[in-house]
Amino acid sequence: MSGSNCILVTGGTGFIGSNFVLDWMGAGPTTSGKPTSDTGIINLDLLTYAGNPANLAAIEGRPGYTLVHGDICDATLVAETLDRYQPKAIVHFAAESHVDRSIVGPEAFLKTNIDGTFTLLNAARSYYERLTGEKKENFRFLHVSTDEVYGTLGPHDPAFHEKTPYAPNSPYAASKASSDHLVRAWVHTYKLPCIITNCSNNYGPFQFPEKLIPLMITHALNGKPLPVYGDGQQIRDWLYVSDHASALVAVLERGRIGETYNVGGGNQRSNLAVVETICALLDELRPDSKFAPHSQLITYVKDRPGHDRRYAIDARKIESELGWTASESFETGLRKTVEWYLANPGWIENVTSGAYQQWVQKNYGDRTGIAPASEVVAR
């Protein structure tokens, strides 16, 4: 693709990125099929273990979509990509995203999440300063971040809002908090027109089965233990991934420069309740499974070090200012998600097979690290 009718997305082959790209191009697995925009997408992605090209098979070869295979830490590549494609905006998803991996190997998190964001900001600044007229006026850098920057909540604390002080607890959260601070500094110092979003836990199609929901679904289908960390009473606030994608579009179109918007669906659930709901859905959808009732597979395991107890998002700012609301409840979104995994055994097989892991090792080398095996403890 040439010309400037495009946006640059980083990490567009990962879980949220691929859902955003597919929805944008009208090819989302659970959405209407109506494109969000006729603007094309350039996807800069390193294709780590989490960047699965199969996620974007539906748009492969389509006009309007281009993959640039490379690292956001590569300053030359980032600058060349911006100069070549002249995007109208940047949506920055690329990151190391899994908390457990950040505990066993934080280096890659610091590299991609901090260094990579710095590299991107620097290149975006140089690109932006050379823009003129309407293109300069409308340019945006949207930084996709997380509620984990705010730390952890007690059972009766109010939900995280945009003014909640940062208190990151894991290496992942600290790296994302650092990247948010860099973005803030680039707005304040260099007037780069950035906006930050801090979102709660996402779930939906194409999520790598190291994260809670797809891990539990794929384990249950195979009769493997369902490892619940600690007492399973930690709380997360779940958002269906397409609702996150639509929030990002709203922010891109109508968000105010320099602002932060918290994004969440108002679905606080304990981990144990989430796992039990998945088991009940599988009992209903796979009544003949030899592993039913699937809840018999629940196994309490050693807790995650430094495990944040509760996250909850106050999304009133994005709702009232930008008119965004989530369209899926947790019940409808989780059903869609379980149905999607049941309908896509080939995708699961592809990402969990030895062949995929070898591909990851070859292409991703030392920065992979298979998800840490949970240590089973008797209770």
Residues that bind ligand NAD (CB under 6 A): 10-11, 13-17, 45-48, 50-51, 71-73, 93-95, 97, 112, 116, 144-146, 176, 199, 201-202, 208
Asked if residue 179 binds ligand DAU (CB under 6 A), the reply is no
Q: Which of 94, 212, 263, 326 binds ligand DAU (CB under 6 A)?
A: 212
Query: Taking Cα atoms as reference points, which of 173, 189, 42 lies closest to residue 122?
Result: 189
Q: How far apart are CA 30 and CA 295, in angstroms?
A: 27
Best CA proximity match to 239, nearest among 208, 272, 262, 256: 262
Say how far apart CA 35 and CA 59 lie, in whole Å: 12
Answer with the entry of ligand NAD, ligand DAU, none that 8 interacts with (C-beta below 5 to 8 A by kind): none
Q: How far is 234 from 5, CA to CA, in rounded Å?
A: 44
Whether 170 and 308 have beta carbons less than 8 Å apart is answered as yes
In what order do the strands lie in the sheet containing 40-45? 65-69, 40-45, 6-10, 89-92, 140-146, 194-199, 260-263
> Nearest distance from residue 46's CB to ligand NAD, in Å?
4
- The CA distance from 94 to 105, in Å, is 18
* Site map 8..37 versus ligand DAU, x via CB under 6 A: ------------------------------
**172 given a catalytic annotation:** yes
Q: Quick one: which H or E segment has residue 90?
A: strand 89-92
Q: Is 44 in the site for ligand DAU (CB under 6 A)?
A: no
Partner that binds at residue 212, options ligand NAD, ligand DAU, none, CB closer than 5 to 8 Å by kind? ligand DAU
How near is the Cβ of 34 to ligand DAU at its closest, in Å? 28
Q: What is the C-alpha to C-alpha distance for residues 114 and 109, in angstroms, rounded to an integer?
A: 7
**Which of ligand DAU, ligand NAD, none does residue 236 bind to, with CB < 5 to 8 Å depending on kind?**
ligand DAU
The least CB distance from residue 293 to ligand DAU, in Å, is 19
The minimum distance between CB 15 and ligand DAU, in angstroms, equals 9
Partner from ligand NAD, ligand DAU, none binding residue 56, C-beta < 5-8 Å depending on class: none
Q: Which does 234 bind (CB under 5 to 8 A by kind): ligand DAU, ligand NAD, none?
A: ligand DAU
- Report the residue from 25, 99, 245, 334 that binds ligand DAU according to the rule CB under 6 A: 99
Q: Token pair of 109, please?
A: 């998190």
At closest approach, how far in Å is the CB of 311 from ligand DAU?
5
- H-only helix segments in the chain: 15-24, 75-85, 99-104, 107-109, 117-129, 133-138, 171-190, 212-221, 241-254, 271-285, 316-322, 330-343, 345-352, 354-364
Helix/strand/coil for 169: coil
Catalytic one of 65, 127, 150, 172? 172
Q: Which residues bind ligand DAU (CB under 6 A)?
A: 97-99, 146-148, 200-201, 211-212, 215, 227-229, 234, 236, 271, 304, 311, 374
Q: Which residues have a catalytic role annotated?
A: 147-148, 172
